[in-house]
A and B are shown apart, each in its own frame.
Chain A
């Protein structure tokens, strides 16, 4: 638990850095703890409780037996420690299958988003003076302001017609909805890469394609990580889109499967919480392991020549 506050506060820092762009990176780190920042720290710690308490309850409940879950206080520690909840949830929801589908959808989304957004951003940022590219950037940005539910009905029809009322369609739509924000991040980062690097590569004999793969894409790595994590979180945690698009319940992703079996958990809180925890775990684990890397990437800022 001790790592949690740090995690939350770094999250805030990450967002600040993202908004400030790479050029501002590191200014936060340089600030001394003392004076005003104690107030800030205290407020952040308070805010973090809104996340941490439910998380604690979830974990505590998941490891309780059914009797304990019903009788005891939600905040009490599990005694005895039981994994029956997990066992039951595993078989009840056919966890491996839902997990695999979720994994495929998410992997497809992450991969597709990074590649497509990097392509688009490179093309846009290097052809900025051309109207077509500039407008396509604004077009992509505009998509950020249109929420999925508004388009849901039309998209359900369209994916149905195209035979995409399955996880593949969900993946495709996830990529589309991630594209706006990812292109925004990538283009900002691309502007900080000196043109001389590309000119040098061109003189060294590289075609545009080779320049992209040998030079630009590796340099984008820190931002790809950020984009990838956003795509991962959005895709893994999404409930609405798969539930509406995918027609076959046996092909549903984890969050939807959870909800389908909600009723069957009845008042077996330990089973339902264990099930939530299993669904949540990958996202948390991925974040814990990658956030340090993302932070390093974001704060590293412009590439020095």
Chain B
């Protein structure tokens, strides 16, 4: 990690701000070859797009103990949320439905009241500001394109309201349309566009304004699977090019993993963990995070604690006793499917193979414990029927119905407290 650069929209000159990695959690925010694109553009600002002149304000976002309690509810929908988003960072809010991720985003947008705590954009306290004064742009799940306006009018609406003169609006709309490949559709109405094009118009509407923060509320969920994957990459790369701070909401952990510089995982209105995708995957804070991030999901098994570790079937795993400390007789051991050692020797947890999914190079083995008392912990409704999943070499797969033994790779195993679900060590 040498010096990475982050683009900001400085007037005229190419503004490059060296970033000290420990100071931010931006992960791979800055793409060093962005620099090359500056020379292609002879416009007014440092990025490809018209960024507000003289707007050198750091557009950080800060949720400071922000809470939202809907009238008539006892429990808060968002409970003392604390997140810091760095300037130019792409933060993904992810979680199962009803976890408060959309509410958090709407609080940031000003569409939802903040009952307690504060929200900051840069050095401005926006907690009580109306949406129009926050300088944010939002892409809605259903795009919310104005149906009676053409694409160009849709994209220029915010500027028109702001009283920008017509020539400037046209110029900015043209630029954004060029980037999003919408130039041929500017005179069409939204209903004459395909789903993907509508999605791009919604993006364009946000881009044209060059706001301090982009807010995106599941913008890909109305697209078909193939387009979703394409658009995912496009949005992520566009965001890096523009360098605008972005908060993105999704329920899809793959989207979160692939797009975000950092991920904030929420459950029941409470932040579970906020970290880079890699850290999320490698060091989940608790059982919930462990089960939510990663596909196929992590295997989580309750096992008894022994003197110097835990007993995993017939396999003894050494775990530092001090880590296990106060936890009771059992802990939860988690391992990713790729970190499972599969053997036919009687060593480890005995499983019966149900299904083998051949993926070519690899195969996933879905198996259930031979001892019906052993239950796999898991997230979601189908916890009871949760199979144990192991990745094996595609050329050496066990037969269906056969007996196998598994134990975790000790370097990549996770131990969680049985009661609280918190990570141990």
Q: Do A and B come from one complex?
A: yes
Binding site for B on A (CB under 8 A): 194, 196-197, 199-207, 210, 214-215, 218-219, 221, 303-305
- How many residue pairs, one in A and one in B, have C-beta atoms under 8 Å apart? 69
A303 nearest CB across to chain B (Å): 5
B110 nearest CB across to chain A (Å): 7
Query: Cβ of B132 < 8 Å from any Cβ of A?
Result: yes
Q: Which of A200, A214, A221, A303 contacts B140 (CB 8 A)?
A: A200
Known pairs A202-B111, A204-B209, A207-B132; A194 contacts B144 (CB<8 A): yes
Cross-chain pairs A/B with CB under 8 angstroms, 15 sampled: A197-B147, A199-B138, A202-B111, A203-B110, A203-B136, A204-B132, A204-B137, A204-B157, A204-B158, A206-B161, A219-B147, A221-B148, A303-B147, A304-B190, A305-B143
Report Cα–Cα, A265/B136, bound state, in Å. 71
Query: Cβ of B234 < 8 Å from any Cβ of A?
Result: no
Residues of B within 8 A of A207 (CB): 132
Binding site for A on B (CB under 8 A): 109-111, 130-132, 134, 136-138, 140-148, 157-158, 161-162, 190-191, 205, 209
Known pairs A214-B157, A218-B148; A202 contacts B132 (CB<8 A): yes
A179 nearest CB across to chain B (Å): 25
Residues of B within 8 A of A197 (CB): 144, 146-147
Are A305 and B158 in touch, CB under 8 angstroms?
A: no
Residues of A within 8 A of B141 (CB): 196
Q: Which of A201, A203, A210 contacts B109 (CB 8 A)?
A: A203
Closest residue on chain B to residue A193 by CB atoms: B147
Are A203 and B161 in touch, CB under 8 angstroms?
A: no
Known pairs A202-B130, A203-B109, A205-B132; A304 contacts B138 (CB<8 A): no
Are B148 and A219 in touch, CB under 8 angstroms?
A: yes
Report Cα–Cα, A199/B134, bound state, in Å. 13
Are A196 and B132 in touch, CB under 8 angstroms?
A: no
Q: 16 more A-B contacts (CB under 8 A) besides A206-B157, A303-B147?
A: A196-B140, A199-B111, A199-B140, A199-B144, A200-B140, A200-B144, A200-B146, A201-B157, A204-B158, A206-B161, A215-B146, A218-B148, A219-B148, A221-B148, A304-B147, A305-B143
Closest residue on chain B to residue A305 by CB atoms: B142
Q: Which of A201, A203, A205, A304 contacts B191 (CB 8 A)?
A: A304
Report Cα–Cα, A197/B146, bound state, in Å. 7
Closest residue on chain A to residue B160 by CB atoms: A214
Known pairs A219-B147, A219-B148, A305-B142; A205 contacts B161 (CB<8 A): yes
Closest residue on chain B to residue A219 by CB atoms: B148
Report Cα–Cα, A221/B142, bound state, in Å. 22
- Quick one: which of B110, B111, B209 has the most chain A CB within 10 A? B111
Report Cα–Cα, A202/B134, bound state, in Å. 11
Known pairs A201-B157, A205-B161, A206-B132; A305 contacts B148 (CB<8 A): no
Known pairs A210-B161, A305-B190; A203 contacts B143 (CB<8 A): no
- Quick one: which of B144, B191, B209 has the most chain A CB within 10 A? B144
Residues of B within 8 A of A215 (CB): 146
Are B190 and A203 in touch, CB under 8 angstroms?
A: no
Residues of B within 8 A of A205 (CB): 132, 158, 161-162
Which 9 pairs show the lowest CB-CB distances between chains A and B? A204-B158, A196-B144, A200-B144, A205-B132, A305-B142, A205-B161, A202-B131, A203-B131, A218-B148
A37 nearest CB across to chain B (Å): 31
Report Cα–Cα, A281/B146, bound state, in Å. 38
Residues of B within 8 A of A214 (CB): 157, 161
Known pairs A203-B137, A204-B209; A305 contacts B111 (CB<8 A): no
Residues of A within 8 A of B137 (CB): 203-204
Report Cα–Cα, A204/B139, bound state, in Å. 11
Are A305 and B161 in touch, CB under 8 angstroms?
A: no
Are A305 and B145 in touch, CB under 8 angstroms?
A: yes
A206 nearest CB across to chain B (Å): 5
Known pairs A202-B111, A219-B147; A194 contacts B161 (CB<8 A): no
Report Cα–Cα, A219/B209, bound state, in Å. 24
Residues of A within 8 A of B144 (CB): 194, 196-197, 199-200, 305
Closest residue on chain B to residue A197 by CB atoms: B144
Report Cα–Cα, A304/B190, bound state, in Å. 9
Report Cα–Cα, A214/B161, bound state, in Å. 9
Residues of B within 8 A of A201 (CB): 146, 157
Report Cα–Cα, A194/B191, bound state, in Å. 15
B247 nearest CB across to chain A (Å): 13
Residues of A within 8 A of B158 (CB): 204-205
Residues of A within 8 A of B142 (CB): 194, 196, 305
Closest residue on chain A to residue B147 by CB atoms: A303
Residues of A within 8 A of B162 (CB): 205
Report Cα–Cα, A3/B148, bound state, in Å. 32
Report Cα–Cα, A201/B142, bound state, in Å. 14
Report Cα–Cα, A303/B143, bound state, in Å. 13
B151 nearest CB across to chain A (Å): 14
Residues of B within 8 A of A199 (CB): 109, 111, 131, 138, 140, 144
Residues of B within 8 A of A218 (CB): 148
Residues of B within 8 A of A200 (CB): 138, 140, 144, 146
Report Cα–Cα, A111/B257, bound state, in Å. 55
A135 nearest CB across to chain B (Å): 20
